[in-house]
Chains A and B, each alone.
Chain A
Amino acid sequence: MGVSEGFSPAILKNFMSSESANESSADADRGLVARAQQGDTAAFDQLVVKYSPRLYGMIYHMTSNKEDANDLMQDVFAKAFRSLSRFRGKSSFYTWIYAIGTNMTLNFLKKRKRRAAWSLDELDSGIQNDDAMVDIAHFANPRHQSDVNELQKRLNEAMQSLSDDHRAVVTMFDIQGIPHAEISKILKVSEGTVRSRLFYAHQQLQGYLEEFIK
C-alpha cells in the first residue's frame, strides 16, 4: 500500500495529550478490551482506530519504510487480536500493544539485516517539499536556512546509523514523547538503561547532524 507523507496538525495534537487524559483513556481501554475478549470485534476495531496512528509512527520511524510499516502494523494488530484472551490487564493495553509492536519490529529489522537487501535509497522522502516542513526546519535552526531535502536525508541517515535498540528509544522518547518510565515497561529494561541508551544515541546523532546544529 502506498503512503505519501504529509502534515496533519490534528494527529499531531494527539501526541500532545496530557497524563490525565491517558488515565481516562486507560479506563476506556479496559472496557473495550473486556468487550473484545468476549468476541466483540467492533470493540477491538475501536482499539485499532485509537492506537494505529501512534503505532504507525513508532514502526515507521524504526523501519524508515512505509510499506514495511503498513505490513508490520497489520501483523501487530493481527497478533494482538489472536492473543487478546491472554491479556490479563497487568499493564495498560497501550503498553501491551506497544510491546508487541516493538518486539515484532526489532525482529523484523534483524531479519532485514540478514537479507542484506536493504539500502538507504529506499528511505522515504515524501515530506521534503512540504511547506510546513520547510517552516519548521527553519524554526528549529534559524541560523542555518538548511535545504530541507538535505535535512530530511540526513535525519533518516542519522536514525538508520543507530543500533535498533538505540533507535527504538530515540523514536519513542524524542519523536513520540513517551516518558522514560513507559519506555522501560515497553522494552522491559530499567529506566537507567533507557536514559543511557538515549545519551549514547544523542552523542552519535550529534556527529551525523553536526552541520545542522553548529
Chain B
Amino acid sequence: MSEQETQVQKLIRLKRFEQPRDGYFEDFLKEFQSRRDGEVASRPSTFSAASRVSDLLRGMTSGKWVFGAGVAYAALLVIVLSWPEGPEARPDASRQPIIFEPKQPIKKPVNPPKTPVPNPGP
C-alpha cells in the first residue's frame, strides 16, 4: 500500500468520529417501538396464519415437498372415492331412455358373390 493511499485512509477514518447527538439512539428506539406497535395493531388477523403457512412452506426442503405432494394427492384420492352419491348422481326413474325406431326396415347391404380364389399349385 502506497504512502498516499495510507494518507487517504487516515483522512477517511476521520469520518468515524461523526456521531449523532447524545440520546439519539434512545429516541430512535422509542420511535421504532411506537412504529412496530402500530404495525402489529393494524395487521389483519389472517396475516399471522398466512405468514406461518408461508414460513412453513419456505422452510421445506425438496424431499419434504415431494412427500407433502404425495400425501396431498392420496388425501384427495380418498376424498373423491369416498364421496357419497348425491340425488343428482342416481338414475332418474321418471326419465325413460330414448329408443330410436326407424320407420322403414333397414336393408341389408348386398355383398358381391364370393368367387373361389384359385389355389396356386405346388
Contacts and interface: CB of A to CB of B under 8 A. Distances in A.
Interface of A: 1, 3-8, 11-12, 15, 41, 45, 48-49, 52-53, 56-57, 60-61, 66, 70, 73-74, 77-78, 81-82, 85-86, 88, 124, 126-127, 132-133, 136-137, 140-141, 151, 155, 158-159, 170, 174-177, 202, 205-206, 209, 212-213
A155 B14 CA distance: 9
A206 B31 contact: no
A33 B103 CA distance: 88
Interface string B73-93: 000000000000000000000
Interface string B15-36: 1111111101101110111011
Contact of B18 (A5, A52, A78, A202): A5
The residue in B4, B20, B25, B27 that gathers the most chain A C-beta atoms within 10 A of its C-beta is: B20
A176 B16 contact: yes
B8 interface: yes
B7 interface: yes
- The winner among B5, B8, B51 for most chain A CB atoms within 10 A is B8
B7 A213 contact: yes
A212 B9 CA distance: 12
A190 B4 CA distance: 26
A174 B19 CA distance: 16
**Closest 7 pairs between A and B when the two form their complex, measured CB to CB:** A213-B7, A3-B20, A8-B19, A174-B12, A140-B10, A202-B5, A5-B18
Interface of B: 4-5, 7-22, 24-25, 27-29, 31-33, 35-36, 39, 51, 55, 58-59
Given A155-B12, A209-B8, A78 B35 contact: yes
B20 A66 contact: yes
A205 B11 CA distance: 10
B115 to A, nearest CB: 86
A6 B29 contact: no
A8 B17 CA distance: 7
A127 B18 contact: yes
Contact of A60 (B4, B18, B35): B18
Main SS at interface, chain A: helix
A78 B32 contact: yes
Contacts of A174: 9, 12-13
B59 to A, nearest CB: 8
B28 A15 contact: no
Contact of B17 (A60, A77, A136, A158): A136
B11 A141 contact: yes
A141 B11 CA distance: 8
A205 B6 CA distance: 11
Nearest to B51: A85
7 contacts: A5-B20, A6-B22, A12-B16, A78-B32, A78-B35, A88-B59, A155-B12
A206 B8 contact: yes
Given A137-B14, A205-B12, A4 B21 contact: yes
Contacts of B51: 85
